[in-house]
Amino acid sequence: MSVKIKDVAREANVSVATVSRVLNNIPLVNEETKKRVLDAIEKTGYKPNAIARSLKMQKTNTLGIMIPDISQAFYTNVVRGVEDVCNIYDYNIILCNTDSDAQKELKYFNVFIEKQCDGILFIGKSLKDELINQIAISKIPVVLGALTDSEDRIPSVSIDNEQASYDLTMHLIENGHKRIAFFDDEDETSFVGIERKKGYKRALESQGIAYRKEYVFDGKYSIKGGFDLMEELLKLEDLPTAVFALNDEMALGAIRKLEEKGLKVPQDMSVAGFNNFTVSEWLTPSITTIAQPMYDIGALCARMLIKMLDGHKDEVKSLYVPHKLIERESTSDIK
């Protein structure tokens, strides 16, 4: 059906070896022969079969990328960064959504191995042991994005989540808040969540403020999640004066619930988020948050992985990218 290298060879009256050399820009080919081959390619409309090439070369120029859920704003920017860099270096990405589910992660990992991906980008909230084992066994190059490996067995590109969380909590404390609630991820195994909680605790401790378990709420990473959590929180006797939510979507939900109950943000309660969601600066009130350079995280991850594939495995080391506290209207000094 489709035209193959053999057809081009016949058309140009050369061997397939010569056609291959022209295709791969190997210099030893006579200019005239080359021209004949090029004409034959043009004439036949030949397109190389990358699968055949990959089999021979043991290289697919394809990277596997796992993310929890592409429909979450945070990850889309990371993926865009990855793809742009891949485009530069002629790689393509196979994209999979894991929902942070261990089974799906292992399944997709196997798919990446079977489809001979040159490397894997793992974006997510935590790396499970079983997956680490599989990675070690297969020896496939992997880079983590937006999270780190606690033992740094696998290189990563991420913000320092503990420090970022500390910074945000300190900011609230400096504004006079002592009763600060924490809207956590319902997924307790989330490494990123754990790190952020550490930062929150460290900030409290550093200022001699007791950590109160009743101020920590686990919920969904969504607007509705924050909305529901605030409903819970408002049942407390001793209300917090500020809330630190693990993403801006949760923070927005929390704010809307407060408004629904006739409370004002930040006058009655300050609410801070995380990630600097695209719309956060446009909301009323706009949301105080920690910005992560999402696009850069993706781009750097991809560069790092490609560097490993180019044989510079030892030059690669884990990287913290800077986060930034953005103060907006949803938080203020305590009255």
Note the residues at the interface with DNA (CB under 7 A): 2, 4-6, 13-18, 20-21, 23-24, 26, 28-30, 32-34, 46, 48-49, 52-53, 55-58
199 makes contact, choosing from DNA, a copy of itself, none, with CB < 5 to 8 Å by partner type, with none
Contact 280, 286 (CB under 8 A): yes
HSE-CB of 273 using CA atoms within 13 angstroms = 32
Work out how close the CB of 138 gets to a copy of itself at its nearest, in angstroms, rounded to a whole number: 8
The residue from 116, 160, 212, 327 that contacts a copy of itself (CB under 8 A) is 116
Give the separation between CA 177 and CA 35, rounded to whole angstroms: 75
Per CB under 8 A, does 142 bind a copy of itself?
no
Per CB under 8 A, does 283 bind a copy of itself?
yes
Give the separation between CA 86 and CA 302, rounded to whole angstroms: 7
Among residues 62, 58, 49, the alpha carbon closest in space to that of 8 is found at 49
279 makes contact, choosing from DNA, a copy of itself, none, with CB < 5 to 8 Å by partner type, with a copy of itself
C-alpha radius of gyration, the chain, whole number = 26
77 makes contact, choosing from DNA, a copy of itself, none, with CB < 5 to 8 Å by partner type, with a copy of itself
Q: Which helix (H) or strand (E) element contains residue 174?
A: helix 161-174
Q: Centre a 10 Å sphere on the Cβ of residue 250 and count the other Cβ atoms it contains.
A: 32
* Contact range with a copy of itself by CB under 8 A, out of 9-17, 166-174, 280-288, 327-335: 280-288
20 makes contact, choosing from DNA, a copy of itself, none, with CB < 5 to 8 Å by partner type, with DNA
88 makes contact, choosing from a copy of itself, DNA, none, with CB < 5 to 8 Å by partner type, with none
HSE-CB of 11 using CA atoms within 13 angstroms = 20
* Pairing relationship of beta strands 119-123 and 142-145 according to DSSP bridges: parallel
238 makes contact, choosing from DNA, a copy of itself, none, with CB < 5 to 8 Å by partner type, with none
Work out how close the CB of 65 gets to DNA at its nearest, in angstroms, rounded to a whole number: 23
Instruction: CB nearer to DNA: give 29 or 132.
Output: 29
Work out how close the CB of 305 gets to DNA at its nearest, in angstroms, rounded to a whole number: 22
Give the separation between CA 24 and CA 18, rounded to whole angstroms: 10
Per CB under 8 A, does 44 bind a copy of itself?
no
24 makes contact, choosing from DNA, a copy of itself, none, with CB < 5 to 8 Å by partner type, with DNA
Per CB under 8 A, does 84 bind a copy of itself?
yes
Window 239 to 258, contacts with a copy of itself (CB under 8 A): 252-253, 256
Work out how close the CB of 38 gets to DNA at its nearest, in angstroms, rounded to a whole number: 12
Per CB under 8 A, does 48 bind a copy of itself?
yes
Give the separation between CA 196 and CA 181, rounded to whole angstroms: 13
Q: Is the peptide bond before 48 cis (omega within 30 degrees of 0)?
A: no
Per CB under 8 A, does 3 bind a copy of itself?
no
Which residue, chain included where needed, has tokens 């589910």? Answer: 101
Work out how close the CB of 309 gets to DNA at its nearest, in angstroms, rounded to a whole number: 16
Give the separation between CA 105 and CA 130, rounded to whole angstroms: 10
97 makes contact, choosing from a copy of itself, DNA, none, with CB < 5 to 8 Å by partner type, with a copy of itself
Per CB under 8 A, does 49 bind a copy of itself?
yes
Give the separation between CA 198 and CA 196, rounded to whole angstroms: 5
Contact 272, 200 (CB under 8 A): no
Among residues 128, 187, 191, 143, the alpha carbon closest in space to that of 165 is found at 191
Per CB under 8 A, does 113 bind a copy of itself?
yes
